[in-house]
Each structure stands twice: as C-alpha cells, then as structure tokens.
Structure 1
Amino acid sequence: MIGVIVVPGHSPLMHGLDANRSFALLPLGDRPMLQHVIESLAAQKITSIELIVSHAPKEVESLLGNGDRWGCRFRYHLATQPDRPYRSLKIISALKDQPWCLIHAECFPCIDLPSVKASQPVLLYGSVQDDPAADGQQAVAGSSVWRGAAVFPAGSVTDAFASQSIDELRQQLESMAASSEATVLHVSQWLDGSTPAALLETQTALLDRRFEGLMISGVERESNVWISRNVVIHPTVELVPPLYLGPNSRVNRGVRLGPNVVIEGECIVDSDTSIEHSLITAGSYIGQGLELNKALVDHNLLINVRLGTSVEVVESFLLGGLKQVRRSNMLARILEPILAILLIILFLPVSLLSLVVYALLRRLTYTPVRMVQLPARENEVASRTYPLLCLGADAWVVRRVAGWRTFLRQFLPGLFAVAQGKISFVGLPPRTVEEIEKLPSDWRALYLEGSSGLITEAALSLSDPRDETQRYLADAYYTVRRSFLYNLKLFFQYFGRVIFPGGPGLL
C-alpha cells in the first residue's frame, strides 16, 4: 500500500498558529504531529509515502528528509493551489497498480490501514459527538463526519478526481457512500490537530497513554511526567502529571505545571505562574504570575480555547519569543573587535597600573590560559583552543561575581582575544579542555553549542558562583535567553556592577 499525505496549508481556525509553518508541524507531545503520522505509517509497513505540501515546504522537508530515518522512501509534491491539492496524484504512477491511502495530516485515523480491503473506496469516518475539532459546530448524537482519510483501490485516480477541491472531493465521496458506491468505516481514535481545541484534546489523550504505540521521549521522572535534556527546574516547582517538558527549558520558582501540559522546548516559565491543559511552543517566554488554562502560546500569540479567541500580546514581560542564536551575528563579529581595540586603548593606563600593582603585591603577571573556542563539536574540543590572557593563571579558575577585581584580572586582559575574534564580550564562561571534560554530559552538550564571553550570566546573577548547580542553571538560562539585545543588557549591567558594586544576583 502507498501512503499519500496532504500536508495542510493555512486555516482560519488556527488563529495564526500556521503563519510560518503548516499546523501539522505543531507539537503533539514531544514531536510534531506530522512525525507521529509518519511513524505510524512506517510501523504499518507503509514505506512508500508521497507528501503533497502547499505551505512551508522547506520546513516539512527539513523535518522528514528522504525517509531513510524510518526505512521509508519519501517524495514531495508542491501544491501550487492549496485548495486543489490532488493534482499531483496524476503523476504518481504507482497509484495505478497498488491500493493507496489518502491522509490529510491534521486528522490521522488510528487503525491498521493495510488491513482495510478496498475493492471500492473506503471512507474512514469519526463521530461528531466525539470530535473536539468542531469549533462552532453543534454535536449531533450519532452523526458522523468524514475527516479526510480514505483507502482507495488501484487505478482510482482519474482526471476528474485529481482536479477537485477538498470540498468537492468530500461531496463526491459522501455522495458515493450514500449510494453504496463507497464503504464507510467508523474509527474511534484519531490524531486530530485540525483546531486548537482538537490539538489539546489529542494531546491529553497522548499524555494519558490512550494511543497504543505512540511514544514520548525523555526521562520519565515519575509516572506520566517526562523531562527532556537540559531542563532546569526550581525546587519549589509543582509538577502535576501528565506533562512533558521539552529540552533546554527553564521553570522558575513557585511555578505549577499540569495536568495535561506540553512545553515544547527552549522555553522559560517565569516565577509564580500556573499552567494547566495547555501547549507552549518552542522558544516561548511565559511571564510572572500568569494563569493559563486550556490555552496555546506561540511566542506572543495567546489562544484561549475555551472562548475560541486569540490575542497577540505586545507586552514582552507577559508573553514573548526567545530567539535562539546559534551563529554569531555578522555585524557583531565586525563591531566587537573594533570596540575591543578602542577599549584596550582607552583603558591602557589602568591595565598597566593594575599589572604593576598585582606584580608587586601578589607576583602576578599576564598569563595566557588555553580555552576552548565555541561553538565546538565533541571531537573538536582539544583542537579548538586559543590563548586567553588574564592576570594570573588562577583568574578564571575560581568563578567570581562581577566587580572591579574581575574587571582588572579577566576583562581587560581578555580584550586582546575579543580583538582577535576568539571570544565575545558576552557569553558562557570560557573553559579549558579539562574543565569541559569534567562537565556532566547534558551540561557539556549545552555548553559546546553556545558561545563564550568575558561577561557571563553567572558573574552577574549568581549568589554563590562556586555552586555547581547554580552555575549550570546560569548557563542554561543564558543559552535560552541569548540575543543581541540581551547581550547588550548584560554588557551594561556588568559595567554598572564595576562602577557601583551590587549584591547577589537573582539565580
């Protein structure tokens, strides 16, 4: 059997969630819903899959690739008219010789498709009264609806079939079912992401393990509580199962999460916030003291499922997006060395005076310490090193809070490495090969993907820089928050701390 998946385009029911991606790529548990569909088909030995995509094709192909990951063969077809996506069926020659299943990716039937015998079209129906997708529809007891899934015999694609719109095909197939030219098969379980309400209901069923064969990755810390890698959770956080916390996320003090919550990853949930029956997409920031119930949050977009409304929140301290910067900005790479040279010239008298004072009092001189240049792969750690000047070889050994001493011993000598482009002004703490090798595996993976800097989150925020747990929390927090504006904020905070020494930080 051949699988034909129609990946949906825009839908007004999604309230803008599909602006930059197909809503089939929205998370269902720990992975996009479309990936669940692919994995279910692969588990049923349907390995030849044709994907018809009308919106964000690059994102779909980037997620799935060529199918080797699942032992499948994928072919992609671009639907230039999203409302008539079936025209590509005419060029799929294998449909003439083999039975095939049509799946609209937002609604996937949880049955064994190859076991369906299709001497005539078999329409897979679901009950309206069990359909959480029907926003605005009145549920009628005992009535059914065709959800876009069907099994067809070989050779069923005609020119008339392929030229129809989605609504026209629906009408034709339902007319065929009424005249017994097609068979109706009722299916009780569906992966339904056609609306925000349907997605949350399906998410709840997945977290409750109601879908046989669908797995959630991550460590199950307790029953139905899955925690992925590099997640920082404050000890005062209350976790109410079932829920899933995605990678590189941070949950601050006093937060209550669950039940039925999915946080996709790269997210921050700030202090004293409560989230229930909700989905938070990747890279979102949730502010302090909020209460979210039956909601979807995509950066600053808030969808209230109970009211069927949405709003874009303009106040970034309430909701916002956290942009993950994996590569240095070109403008910053040009400006930082220039600024470093200017600062070297400006503070040259201070540098020379501090060198004389430390040499006389503590016999310390400028010493190059070899640090690992970030980002780096695991096998590159030993080879990607550079000399970072500091006053005394122990200047970076003991982590210190920002102040006049770190400014003289670390910042001023380190400007030479910034001028050479080896390190940034703001980033993760520079570390030696030996220090990196001693880090736990999760911490090391997070660190090697980042960028190092003379000014660090730990130096500004920690109450005790020697505490390993707090240092990890600071690294994870910076990795999620880092952006040009956030780096600029830390830069000025650092100089403010040098001029006006303050108390302990927030973390």
Structure 2
Amino acid sequence: MKAVVLAGGEGTRLRPLTLTRPKPMLPLGPAPVIEHLIKQLAKCGFDEVILTLGYLSEQVRSYLGDGSKLGVKIHYSVEPEDLLLGTAGSVELVSHLLDKRFLVIQGDTYTEIDLSEAVKVHIKKGADATIVVKSVPNPWLFGVIEYDEKGFITGFREKPKPEECRSNKVSTGIYVLEPEVLDFITQHPCDFAKNVFPKMLASRKRLLAYECEGYWVDVGSREGYIEAQKRILRKHMEETDSSIWMLGEAYIGNGARLEGPLLMGSGVRVEDGATVGPYVCLLSGASISSNSTIVSSTLFEDVRVGSGSRISESIIGEKAIIGEQATVEESIIGQAALLKNGARIRSGCRIWPNVVVEENAEVEGTVLLTHEKPFYFFIDYGRYTGVLASSITSFLEAITVVDSKSLEFHLYRRDFERWIRNVIQAPLLAEEVAALRKQMLRGEELRSGLIRVVKAWFGYVTEEKTSH
C-alpha cells in the first residue's frame, strides 16, 4: 500500500532552525524526523512512499535516496516553492500514482500508531475517507471533529471557543482515502480539512473517525519538537535499560553530573561540574563548560556553552555560542548565533542565525537579521558552516574565510549565480561567476578566482558611480 507524506512546508513555526534545513531533516534523537516517520510506515506495511517536497527539497532527497535502506520505495514530487497548493492540492499532483486506496500523513509527525489498524477499520466499515483522531486536553486549539456512536463524522468545528467544545477529538492529519476522494479537489489552493472533507460530508459520503491508540505528536513547533525528543529518549531508555545514549566517544569531566535519559553524540565534551539532563540531546561536537546546566533541551552540532550558563526547554542551532553566565529559557537560538556573557533570553524568544546578543542584554521576542534573504554557506546538504552573507561586501568577506569545500558546493550548483542575480540584483557579476564556474576550478584556486571576480566587479561599479 502507498503512503503520501506531505513534507513541502517551510517550517515557519520552527524558524530560524528551518532557514538552513527543512523541517523533515531536523534531528530527533540520532536520526532526522523523516527517517523516524518512514520507518514507522514501513513497519505498518506501507512499501511505497510518495514524498511531496518543496522547500530545500534536495536535502531530503540526498539523505533518503530511493528509500531502499529504510525498506520502502520512494517517489518524489517537488513543488515550485512559490506555488500554494494546500494539502489536497499537493496530493492531486501525484494522483497518477494513486489508483488504489492510500494513506496521507503530515511530514512533521512523530508517531508510534499502528496505521495498519486504521486501514483495516476503514475497509471493514466501508468508509470513503477515514480521519485518524486523538483525544487532547485542549481541543479548542485545534479543529474539533464530531461523530456518531458508529464513528461516522457528523461535523467539523474549526478552533471553537472552550465552552463550545462538544468533543475533545482532533485530527492528527493522518487520513486513509479512496482514490475517488481526489474528485472533490475542485479549487486551488485546496486543503483536506477546510475544503475536501466538508464537501464530502455535504455530499453524504462516508467519513469515518478512527480513534487510535499509540503515541502521536506534531513536531512542527518548539513545544512539539521537545516533546517528541523526550519521547524518543525515554523509549530508548526503556528498551535498552540504559539512561545514557552514547553515539560515539565523549569527554566527561570530574564531578560532571549526567541525568538520563539523554543522548550524547561523538566528540561531545561535558566539563567539570556541569549538569546535563534529563531529556537532553547533545549532538556531535557540542561542548558544555564547567558549572553549566542543560535541561530538556537539544543542542545541535558544534554548539559551545560557556561556564555557569543555564539552558532549559530550548533548541540551540548548530555552531551557536552561548557565553558565560547566560540564560536561555523556552526559546530557539539560531545557527551560529553568539550570546555574549550574561545574556538572558526569556521564554518564547527566537534569535536568528549569526545574530550577536551583547553582554548582559535581556531579550524578549524575536531578533532578526537585517537582510531578508542572506546567503547561507554549506559544505554539503544540511551542513551549515556558520558563515553567511547579506551583501556583496559581506559576501567577499565570507568567500575569503569559508572552507573551500563550501565554495565548490555552491559554485557548481549555481547557487552563487542565482543569489547574486535575484537578491543582490547584480546580473553582470552573476555572469562573471558563471564564466568562472565553467573553468572547473577547485580548492584555493577557486577561492582566488572568486575573490578576483568579485573585487573586479566591485571596483567597476564603484568607478562607474563616481564617474557619474
């Protein structure tokens, strides 16, 4: 049976982490979100997966390949990033692959539900569409589903007032559908919940609500992501009877306190007197200095935390530096951001990549970059160097210091040309970079060539402006 995974969104609720990697590629434990999801689909008997992608799609495709390593066959549908299709519209694009019953699931889902049971109930009750639902304590934050004693849906209520809730059942965004459901996609953009299912209900089609057993969470927010991370750590501890999940060699200083469940990647350092855990993921290369405390948080690759700092219920992007005596509470810190000594990041903050927070500053809210579309330098798919450019001047500075492998990666993908032409609005420079690309240079020779081309263009436009 086939499953369609909707994974084309930009992940705005997890900004700024999703500025450099798509939401399906964010790490949960030792693997990205999408790997956990596809493994669960395979476990439930789905042997073909159709992934609808858009934003930063190449990172997902590069990681998953044809799916054989995960026991499935993967088809890809890559949507133009500026085209708004909606959930149903995305599925309609792959309708030629959907001639039999199929499953739809959101790409930002972590679940342990036995989805094969939902299919069995769908078939047994002769439903046209089955929506997998869960009971939640706060249904007014979701779309509420109302159904009769046989499980057939009688109505939908989109985010009702608390006193108006007649049900605590909400949609998980997991559907079992007959191919005929696609006939109800008659507008664009088109969503299943907002458009398709109400039309089907009005046409007296059989819509079933299946209340499932098993764990499910939407990882598309900071709260959901941390909840899923806790679940994975707890599950590993229960299955292995080990509270510390080691992915490689790590340094643990004298008097350091590790409280499980927690995960430690290769090359992690926890210095004397630091406290880590419970529910902490330290990815490869992370470093925690003496007397710091990390609780219920995920620190991406190569994060450095100064002495005496405290981080709780937060996500810290790769290569970020947290100074001494700093505090981060219930926030997201962007890639390569720098929080200087004594900085205090209050609950709900988002600090954008490479932003500097000064000493003893107290931050509430969101701190953004001044440029809307900076250029992020990668070494490979999903491997951010911590270097960005927001102007030609900073681009020149960046290509002088960034790893030459990053220059090769972007030049031969034509990333430099597109950014220079579309964002900087410098078509002449873009043409010069394209000509350089055709020379097939590598390493330091490539760096020298890029610097020469940018400096020559910079001198040309500066001279042109002064002559006028």
TM-score class, shorter-chain normalisation, is: 0.5 to 0.7
Compared CA separation, residues 225 and 90, structure 1 to 2 (3 A): closer
CA distance in 2, matches of 1:211, 1:165: 44
Counterpart secondary structure, 1:323: strand
**Are 2:281 and 1:281 equivalent residues in the alignment?**
no
Q: RMSD of the TM alignment (CA)? A: 4.2
Displacement after TM superposition at 1:231 (Å): 0.9
Task: Name the CA distance, whole Å, in 2 between partners of 1:307 and 1:141.
Answer: 33
Q: What are the residue-to-residue correspondences of 1:221-370 with 2, within 5 Å? A: 223-258=260-295, 260-299=296-335, 300=337, 308-312=348-352, 314-315=355-356, 323=385
* Residues 1:198 and 2:261 are matched in the alignment: no
Aligned-pair distance for 1:295?
A: 2.0
Cα distance in 2 between the residues matched to 1:172 and 1:157? 8
**CA 1:301–1:272 in 2, change beyond 3 Å: closer, same or farther?**
closer
Structure 2 length-normalised TM: 0.59
In 1, Cα distance between equivalents of 2:400 and 2:317: 29
Question: 1:292 Cα shift?
Answer: 1.8
For the structure 1 residues 207 and 169, does the alpha-carbon distance in structure 2 shift closer, same or farther, using more than 3 Å as the test? Answer: same
Distance 1:233 1:213, change over 3 A: closer
Match of 2:185 in 1: 161
Shift of residue 208, structure 1, vs aligned partner:
2.9
How far residue 168 of structure 1 moved from its aligned partner, in angstroms, is: 5.3
**3-state DSSP class of the match of 1:62?**
helix
| Aligned position for 1:52 | 52
Structure 1 residues 8, 87: closer, same or farther in 2, change over 3 A?
closer
* Paired residue total: 330
* Counterpart amino acid of residue 318 in structure 2: A
Tell me the residue number matched to 2:235. 209
1:290 to 1:184, Cα distance in 2 relative to 1, 3 A: same
Deviations 1:229-264 (A, max 9, x none): 111221221123232211111111111112x22222
**Quick one: which amino acid aligns to residue 77 of structure 2?**
H
Code of the aligned partner of 1:187: C
Out of 71, 77, 98, the residue aligned to residue 95 of structure 1 is 98
Residue 41 of structure 1: aligned partner: 41
Q: Within 5 Å, give how 1:117-136 maps onto structure 2.
A: 117=120, 118-119=122-123, 120=127, 121-129=129-137
Give yes or no for the alignment of 1:172 onto 2:175.
Answer: no
Does the residue aligned with 1:208 lie in a helix, a strand or coil?
Answer: helix
Instruction: Give 1:199 shift.
Output: 1.9
Any conservation in 2 of the 1:77–1:88 contact (CA below 8 Å)?
no
> Mapping of 1:395-410 within 5 angstroms?
none
Provide the C-alpha distance between the structure 2 equivalents of 1:147 and 1:305, rounded to a whole number of angstroms.
32
Range with greater deviation from structure 2 (5-14 or 130-139): 130-139
SS in 1 for 2:191: helix
Q: Deviations over 1:327-351 (max 9, x none)?
A: xx9857999xxxxxxxxxxxxxxxx
8 Å CA contact retained: 1:237, 1:252: yes
* CA apart distance, 1:265: 1.9
Measure how far apart 1:37 and its partner are: 0.9
Partners of 2:328 and 2:346 within 8 A in 1? no
Partner of 1:122, secondary structure, is strand
1:185 is matched with which residue: 210, 219, 227? 210
Residue matched to 1:445? none
User: Contact 1:87–1:163 (CA<8 Å) still a contact in 2?
Assistant: no
On the 8 A contact 1:177/1:183 being kept in 2, the answer is no
Give the SS at the match of 1:253.
coil
Report deviation, 1:162. Answer: 7.6
| CA 82–164 in structure 1, closer or farther in 2 if over 3 Å, else same | closer
Distance 1:3 1:334 in 2: 40
Q: Which runs of 5+ in 1 are unaligned?
A: 336-420, 423-507
| Alignment partner, residue 460 of structure 2 | none
- Contact 1:255 1:272 (8 Å CA) reproduced: yes
**Partners of 1:167 and 1:306 in 2: CA distance:** 36
**2-structure distance, mates of 1:333, 1:90:** 40
1: CA distance, partners of 2:345 / 2:239: 28
| Kept after mapping to 2: 8 A contact 1:107/1:149 | no
Q: Which amino acid in structure 1 is aligned with residue 173 of structure 2?
A: G
5 Å matches for 1:416-495? none
Structure 2, unmatched stretches of 5+, are: 144-158, 251-257, 360-366, 370-375, 377-383, 388-397, 405-442, 445-468
Helix, strand or coil for the counterpart of 1:24? helix
Query: What does the per-residue CA deviation read over 1:144-197, in whole Å, with 9 as the maximum and x for residues that have no partner?
Result: 3223210123x3353543855353554432564685611101236213112222
Residues 368-403 of structure 1 show CA distances to partners (whole Å, capped at 9, x for unaligned) of xxxxxxxxxxxxxxxxxxxxxxxxxxxxxxxxxxxx
CA contact (8 A) 2:8 2:57 kept: no
Please report how far the alpha carbon of residue 70 of structure 1 lies from its aligned counterpart in structure 2 after TM superposition: 1.0
Q: 1:106 to 1:232 in 2, by over 3 A?
A: same
Counterparts of 1:264 and 1:132, CA distance in 2: 33
Hey, what's the Cα distance between the residues in 2 that align with 1:145 and 1:306?
31
Which structure has the larger Rg? 1
Match of 1:68 in 2: 68
Q: Is the 8 A contact 2:24 2:34 kept in 1?
A: yes
1:87–1:162 contact (8 Å) kept in structure 2: no
State yes or no: 1:151 paired with 2:151.
Answer: no
**Cα gap change, 1:129/1:270 in structure 2, threshold over 3 Å: closer, same or farther?**
same
The amino acid that maps onto 2:85 is D
1:202-230 Cα offsets, whole Å, 9 max, x none, are 32333333999899762697641322211
CA contact (8 A) 1:122 1:150 kept: yes
Maintained 8 Å contact 1:131/1:198: no
* 8 A Cα contact 2:237 2:261, kept in partner: no
Deviation at 1:110, TM superposition (A): 2.9
Change in CA separation of 1:305 and 1:33 when aligned onto 2, cut-off 3 Å: farther
- What TM-score does the superposition give when structure 1 sets the normalisation length? 0.55
